[in-house]
Structure 1
Amino acid sequence: MPRIVKSADDRRNEILDGAQALFFERGYERTTVNDVIAKVGISKGGFYHHFKAKEDLLEGITARLARDAVARVRDILDDPALSALERLNGFMARSRSMKLADAPKFRAAFDVVFRPENLLLYHRINAASIAVMRPVLTGIIAQGKAEGAFTVADPEVAAEIILHLNASSHDAVARTIDAMGTAEEDAAIEALDQRFQFQGIAIDRILGLPDGSLTIVEPGFTRAVMTARPGIERLPPGTELSIERGIGEVRQVRKPSTILAGAAKASLRLKSSVCKRSHQGRGLAAGPSNAGARRQHLSRAVEARCSDQLAAADPDHSGRH
């Protein structure tokens, strides 16, 4: 049977298809490059010919999703009967509907970019999205200027400012994600909703429209998106373990509420903030060189060091070993 040689674009899209399916199913953090390679059925060299790192996959998926979103509103964009204001409101209404329908998958794949250590990745994926959306929004604003409905000097500059205004909500979204499942959840969602409403007024004024002309969010939208459950288990905010990957290198590791310690699968239930950073800087022995054995070794070491604190936080803990 002759070997099928795929074009570079076909192979790249095939890799993105596999990565997108895994990110939506497992979440970004629980998917490795090796998982993507195995799913697509390519060599490691073949993968790295197209992508340098896992972050590149998320950036590529973002651009694809943005193009798909534009395709799904094409009927609104091309309807000659719509005024610019009607087109813009219709575009945003359809976008909200799609975001709500896909919220669990998007949360699984993209929540990770709202962590402080991933700010650069957040800006990368926003740049990928803006590159797709800028010409679409520019066209609508140019129509509004021609109709005399929008008061803007330069439609493209106005479009870029609006898109970056939307991207500026990073910190507010991050605070809301961290508050989910805590006593601050309702207040955080309300604050985020108010911010989105204020952004709508800011966009009205950028375009020279009366306040309230554009609908950015509808009642209940922000809560529905933020309470959408990703298809993966997620820790309550603040539940962390600090363990050592190697000599002198300490990182924060977020684990599910049940940690599987290698083949033994020893259950270690943690409550929020128990042992948080408790061993940072002190380090744990690097342990065996084998990766699986090292994970088991580290889990046991962490459990031993945290046992007193865990017992204090959860009286039933000691009886589960």
Structure 2
Amino acid sequence: MKRIIKKPNIRKSEILNTAKLLFMHEGYEDTSIEKIIYQLKIAKGTFYHYFKTKEHLLDNLVNDMTEEIMPNIIDCLENSHLNAVEKLNKIFILSRNIKAENVQLVLPLLKLLYNSNNVLMRYKMFNSNKRLVTPVIAKIIEQGNNEKIFCVEYVDETANLIMVIGNSFTEATSDILLSDYEKDEKIKRIERELKAYESVVCRILGAENGLISIVDDNIVSIFVKQ
């Protein structure tokens, strides 16, 4: 049989899309590299040409997930009908929804990231997200200052701080999610952490408490009940 040669970007996308479908339907742990190769009918060397390990492939999928949400975030930023609070809340909604839609990818990623051997990978992923999102938050803060909703003197530094603190809360909620607590206890603790983050963000922005909405009970339940 004649070997089909495809452009590298097409072949890489095929591997990622096939792996994503298998992860969604069979779970990350139960999807081996061999299953991905068999599904695509490619040589093992072709897979390893693009991805060193299954974890490397997962890292690429999550990066794609982040890039996928960015056009929606930019649309939100450029929407002249939304005030600063509405824009910030919409970004939190977009982030929550894409995680919920990809829960079968996000959960194994959390297990991977919060393994003590993967501190560098976690650091790189956070910095990648921070690089993309911090400028957007800074522009929203500027708008909020102009609208007299926020009261922030150091805009860029505050945007960066919101991301850094958000990462700390992500670590805390991930620890709870991966813990041995009962499901109801997990939900209660995660919601408490997220409520605390809401309060912290409002204080940093000089906004009225309760304006920023991060907690979504349904999304929390989706993750806990997996």
| TM more than 0.5 | yes
Q: Is the 8 A contact 1:162 1:203 kept in 2?
A: yes
- The Cα of 1:107 is off from its aligned counterpart by 5.2
| TM value normalised by structure 1 | 0.59
Paired residue type of 2:149: A
Q: Distance in 2 between matches of 1:115 and 1:14?
A: 28
Amino acid at match of 1:149: I
Deviation, 1:209, is 1.6
Aligned-pair CA distance for 1:130: 3.5
- Paired with 1:38 and 1:132, the residues of 2 have a C-alpha distance of 36
**Taking structure 1 as reference, are residues 26 and 164 closer, same or farther at Cα in structure 2, changes over 3 Å only?**
farther
Residue 190 of structure 2 corresponds to which residue in structure 1?
192
1:173 equivalent in structure 2: 174
Q: How many residues align?
A: 224
Query: Is the contact made by 1:37 and 1:43 (CA closer than 8 Å) also made in structure 2?
Result: yes
- Unmatched segments (≥5 aa) in structure 1: 230-321
Q: Is the 8 A contact 1:85 1:144 kept in 2?
A: yes
Match of 1:161 in 2: 161
> Could you report, residue by residue, the CA deviation over 1:29-87 in whole angstroms, capped at 9, with x for unpaired residues?
22222222223333222222222222211111111111222334554333111112221
Task: Give the secondary structure class of the aligned counterpart of 2:29.
Answer: coil
In the alignment, which residue of structure 1 is the partner of 2:206? 208
Q: Does 1:224 align with 2:221?
A: yes
Summarize the alignment of residues 92-107 of structure 1 with structure 2, pairs less than 5 Å apart. 92-100=92-100, 102=101, 104-106=103-105
Q: Report which of the two has the higher share of helix.
A: 2
Bigger Cα displacement from structure 2, 114-123 vs 160-169: 114-123
TM-superposed CA distance for 1:14, in Å, is: 1.9
In structure 2, C-alpha distance between the alignment counterparts of 1:190 and 1:114, rounded to whole Å: 23
Aligned identity (percent) is: 27
Calculate the TM-score normalised by the size of structure 2.
Answer: 0.80
In structure 2, the residue matched to 1:288 is none
What is aligned with 2:17? 17
Question: For the residues of structure 2 that align with 1:35 and 1:159, how far apart are their CA atoms?
Answer: 43
Give the Cα–Cα distance (whole angstroms) in 2 for the partners of residues 225 and 65 of structure 1: 18
Q: Partner amino acid for 1:224? A: S
Between the aligned partners of 2:102 and 2:46, the Cα distance in structure 1 is 32
Following superposition, the deviation at residue 148 of structure 1 comes to: 4.5
**1:26 partnered with 2:36:** no
- Cα displacement (A) at 1:227: 3.5
Query: Residues of 2 paired with 1:62 and 1:97: CA distance?
Result: 14
SS in 1 for 2:42: coil
Higher relative contact order (CA 8 A, sep 6+): 2
Give, in angstroms, the shift of residue 137 of structure 1.
Answer: 2.8
How far apart, in 1, do the equivalents of 2:176 and 2:24 lie?
22
Structure 2: gaps (5+ residues): none
SS in 2 for 1:162: helix
CA distance change for structure 1 residues 25 and 205 in 2, over 3 Å: closer, same or farther?
same
> How big is each residue's C-alpha offset from its partner over 1:107-139, in whole Å with a ceiling of 9 and x where there is no partner?
554352365446434444444443443343333
The 5 A counterparts of 1:1-321 are 5-73=5-73, 75-100=75-100, 102=101, 104-106=103-105, 109-113=108-112, 116-117=115-116, 119-120=118-119, 121-168=121-168, 169-179=170-180, 182=182, 185-218=183-216, 220-221=217-218, 223-229=220-226
| CA distance in structure 1 between the partners assigned to 2:41 and 2:164 by the alignment | 38
Residue 10 of structure 1: how far off its partner (Å): 2.4
Q: Is the 8 A contact 1:15 1:47 kept in 2?
A: yes
Does the residue aligned with 2:111 lie in a helix, a strand or coil?
A: helix
Residues 135/50 of structure 1: CA separation in 2 closer, same or farther (3 Å cut): farther
In structure 2, distance between residues paired with 1:22 and 1:45 = 20
**Distance in 1 between the 2:5 and 2:155 partners?**
44
CA distance in 2, matches of 1:57, 1:17: 11
**Aligned-partner Cα distance in 2 for 1:38–1:138:** 46
TM-fit CA distance, 1:3: 6.9
What RMSD in Å do the two structures reach over aligned CA positions?
3.0
